[in-house]
Each structure stands twice: as structure tokens, then as C-alpha cells.
Amino acid sequence: MSVSESTGSAAPPSSGGPAASASGERTSALLANAAAVVAIASAVEGTLGPKGLNSMLVDRYGEVTITNDGATILERMEISHPAARLVIATAQAQAEQVGDGTTTAALLAAALVSEGVRHVRGGVPVIKIIEGLQIGVQHALAFFDTQAQAVSGAGDPRLRQCALIAGRGVAELADLAVAAAAHLGRERLHEEDFRLADTVLAQEGAPTALIEGLVLDRTRLNRQMPREVSPARILLVDDALEPEEVESGALGTEAGFQRYLRLQEEFLRGLAALREAGVNCFLVRRGIGDSADELLTTSGAFAVRRLSRRDLARLAEFTGARPVKRAALKKSPEDLAEFLGRADRVLENERLSHVQVLGGAGRPAVTMLVGAATREVRQERQRIAEDAACAVQAAVQGGILPGGGACELAAARAVSERRQEAPGMAAYGVDCVVEALKRPLAQIMANAGFNPLEKVEQAWAEQTLTGNPGLAVDCDTGEVADMLAAGVVDAAPVKRQALAAALEIAEAILRISTIIRQKPQAQAEPIEPEAL
């Protein structure tokens, strides 16, 4: 699907002088931007809920991606409208921060903008609408905070249900995410720079399993090396494992050639000393030179090259090693001992073409190995596993809320009860929030084949009658049901972030009064050498 710059219909030009013309221009810009946001939401709304369908993405070469992951759809859509790009950027930020809820964020944003535009066209000032949106969203977020229920730990059955909902009902991957969380512990999941989703590795032909260690998508340097070393004494090299380079021009001189020979000798001597001291595993960020390859192979060492910085950082944390540069090989083995890491085993799985590092001496680590039959299935299963992992981590951090649109509907009721607190015309902005919070349940019902208006009002009435904020509608029977009792739960941070992101989008869109095409910026002319 493509969202172009012409998305939306502009209001007809009005007559009546410059003021009317300016007003028409502002309305035209607002309508065009609102239409772009709605178009973005319409691209992903059909994927929401247990009855949501898939979308097919086709690139210019005919490659096909079939998914119902909102983040993937938004990321890969062909977009040219600037307002639509704002939605994409905010959705990507949502995915990076909590890993889920991008579809909900897009739906809420489209609803806030649409309702806001409706009131603006009815004569309500934009600034009053924005004021009301802020008030309403603050009340809704406060309601989420009061309703969030903490999970007791990885053994809490609600945590698995949260993973199952986010993981689109794939029990195998939901269980994998919960098991990974249990192994790492609550403290690790609360670390700001740690993302459980980063531990997911999907491979074709692999068994789906939790590996209590690290899996590197690499192979050993050559087949003559041992397939496994145990126990492993590990040197991490944040550099190339080869002698220091000598300028090519210097090799033509006697002094330069002698320096080259000296560097080769020092390098190999240092490497041999490390092998004699028991270092049997060399994990290298860059390449490994021929001379090092020969020495390590003949001495029975295990080596891997071309590791990413991220892999090196994870290995350092897991094995207790401290990465070194190649110049450090000039040090004695005794001096390098404090930089070494340890692991019970380092081995290559030849069938799957990856290396496993198990039983590290540093902090615990896991790899959620996700198996798949084909490349297309692998990509989708990886996305599902990452969503489940994100939901588990978010639930541990911030608790859970009733899913299925129930908590948003309950928040809408709570916000509507405080409408009178909004000053003057800001109350219309609060109304926008109330209507937007009904949208997730309405869309879930539409995707399940029910009348959304009827079902939303039915759930609203039951919540009001019973005071139970967990009531929504069962997608199979169409009857009102308790989502918490049914195990339909979502991570509270995902809900909070989705609503906050929607407000950010809506406020930015509503504040735009004109669209101006910017002229190309002139490039600075190069400075002539004579002027230096």
C-alpha cells in the first residue's frame, strides 16, 4: 500500500477575503494530514485481535512478506506523505521502547485526529482540542496505573497468557519467552539497556529450544580446527588477529622489510605463548591472518572471526572476558590472564552452522533458538517470538491489564466521568479521547465479524452495571466476558506507551496549519586549494 502526498481531499476554497482564504488553507492542510493518518491506520487495523487477518507486502522485485505484525507492516510500507511518516516514526519508537502495541498506537492516533478534525470543523479552536486531549490522556494513563496488576514472577500463569496474546497464540514461542525470563531473573529484566527480544535467533531447520548460553551465527575458522573445546579459556580480540601492518612503500626498503619480519615474529611469538598458557578459544571481531590461522589450527585451538560489536559485548558479559586489541599480544600471558574469559564449552553445530558458548563464568545469558522450515516462515516466527519476549519483559516491569479492548473501554468510562473538570471548550478534546479509547474494542469486534457499535455499547453497559473494568466481548461467542478470568491480558507498559504515542502524533498533526514545500538547500561550494 502506498500513501502519497495527495492523500486526502482538500476543502474547497472559500470566498470572503484573505481571512477566509487563510482559514480554508488551514482546514485543507488539516484534512490532508488527517486523511494520511487514517490511511496508515487502515493498513494495519485488519490485523488486530485474535480474528485479525494477515497483510501481504510486495517489494519492487516481487518478494513477498505475509504478516499480521503491525510494526513490520508500518516499517515496510511505501510512504511519501510527511504526516504519514510521522506516524511511522512514532510507531517505530513504540516498537523500540516496549516492542509491541504499534497497531494500537496507530489506531488510537487516527481516532484522536479524526475526532479532533470533526470538532475543529464544527468551530472548536484547535488549541482547545489539544488541551482537552492532554487532559483526557492524563486521566486515562492514571487509570491504567491504578488498574495494573503486578505479576509474581515467571511462574505466574498470567505472564504466560500475556506472552501468548502478544505471540499470536503460538504456545511454543510463548513458553520459550517465559522460560527465558525465568532463567535470567527479574533483576535482569528490569535493566534499562537489556531487551529480552534481542536474545531471539531464528534459523531454518533448527529445533525450537532455550539455550542457556550464547549462540553466534558464525562458524569456526576452518574444518581442521576441533569442533569443540571444553573447558574453554577465551580471548576476545576487538581487532584483527594478524601482525601490525607495514606501509606498502616501506617494504621496498631494507629497514621496512626488517620491521615487517620483526612484527611477524613478535605476533606469532605472543600467540604461541598464549596457546602454551592454555588459551584455546579465540573470538575475533575482524579477520584472522594466514599466519595466525596456521598456528591456531596446528595447535588445536578454536577460533571464530567477523563477530559484531554486539556479539563481542555479549560474550564479554557472559564469559567475564575483557576485549583486547592485537597490540596486547605483546604482553606476557601472565599480564593477559586478567583479560581472559571462561566457559564450560564452546562448540560448533555443523548442521545449523552456528557456534554455541555454554556455561560462561560471567552473567547469565540465554538464546531463544526459534526453528522454522523456510526463510519466510523463519522471519515471521522470529517476529512472533520477539513480540512474546517484549510482552513478557514489559509485564514483569509494569504489570498487566485486561486485554481485548477492555482496559481502554474502562479508561474511556473513567475519562468521561471527569469531562466536567476540563475548562470550557477543552471538554471537546476530552470527548475525542473517550471516542478514541473505544476504537480498539470496536476494531477487534469488526475483525471478528460482529457489529462494532452494538458490541461496544453492550460492553460499556455491562461495565457500568457491574463496575468490572475487565469486561469486553468474547470474539468467538459475541457475549460479554471477563478478560482477566479468560486469560486475555496485555502488558501495562504497552498500553501506556501506545496511548502516549497516539497523543504525540495527534498533537503534532493538529498543530500543523500550513504545508509549505521547502526549497532545496544550496550546497556549500568547495574551497579551492589556493584559498587554503
Specify whether the CB–CB gap between 172 and 384 falls below 8 A: no
Residues 53 and 127 in one domain: yes
Among residues 155, 173, 152, 151, the alpha carbon closest in space to that of 164 is found at 173
Together in a domain, 408 and 485 = yes
Asked whether residue 190 is domain-assigned, the answer is: no
353 and 427 both lie in a single domain: no
Half-sphere exposure in the Cβ direction for 293 (13 Å, CA): 11
Number of domains composing the chain: 2
Asked if residue 169 belongs to a domain, the reply is: no
* 454 found inside a domain: yes
Q: Specify the higher pLDDT residue, 63 or 238.
A: 238
- At 75 the pLDDT is 77
In DSSP terms, which residues pair with 402 in a beta bridge? 489
In a domain, 425, yes or no: yes
Q: Is residue 186 part of a domain?
A: no
| Res. 7: pLDDT tops 60 | no
DSSP 11-72: PPPPPSSHHHHHHHHHHHHHHHHHHHHHHHHHHHGGG-STT---EEEE-TT--EEEE--HHH
Asked if the model's pLDDT at residue 207 lies above 60, the reply is yes
Of 323 and 72, the one with more pLDDT? 323
CATH of the domain at 117: 1.10.560.10
Are residues 135 and 255 both part of a single domain? no
In whole angstroms, give the CA distance from residue 364 to residue 179: 13
Using DSSP, state whether 76 is helix, strand or coil: helix
Closest CA to 180 of 351, 344, 391, 341: 391
Residues 18 and 95 in one domain: yes
Whether residues 234 and 145 fall in one domain: no
Helix, coil or strand: residue 456: helix
Is the same domain home to 242 and 351? yes
Q: Looking at the structure, do residues 69 and 24 belong to the same domain, yes or no?
A: yes
**In angstroms, rounded to a whole number, what is the distance separating the alpha carbons of residues 6 and 85?**
14
Note down the domain range covering 466: 2-149+402-510
pLDDT reported for residue 56: 84
Shared domain check, 144 and 63: yes
**Domain of residue 303, CATH code:** 3.50.7.10
The answer to whether position 193 is within a domain reads no
Do residues 347 and 451 both lie within one domain? Answer: no
User: H or E element: which one contains 64?
Assistant: strand 64-67
CA distance 17 to 92: 43
Same domain, 323 and 419: no
Unique residue bearing C-alpha cell 481485548: 404
Same domain, 431 and 493: yes
Do the Cβ atoms of 431 and 133 come closer than 8 Å? no
In a domain, 377, yes or no: no
pLDDT in tens, 34-67: 888 888 888 888 888 888 887 888 887 777 877 8
Average pLDDT over residues 440-452: 95
Kindly state the percentage of the chain with pLDDT values over 70.
89
- Does some domain include residue 519? no
- Mean pLDDT confidence for 171-179: 96
Q: How many Å apart are CA 192 and CA 189, to the nearest integer?
A: 8
pTM: 0.83
Report the chain's mean pLDDT, rounded to a whole number.
87
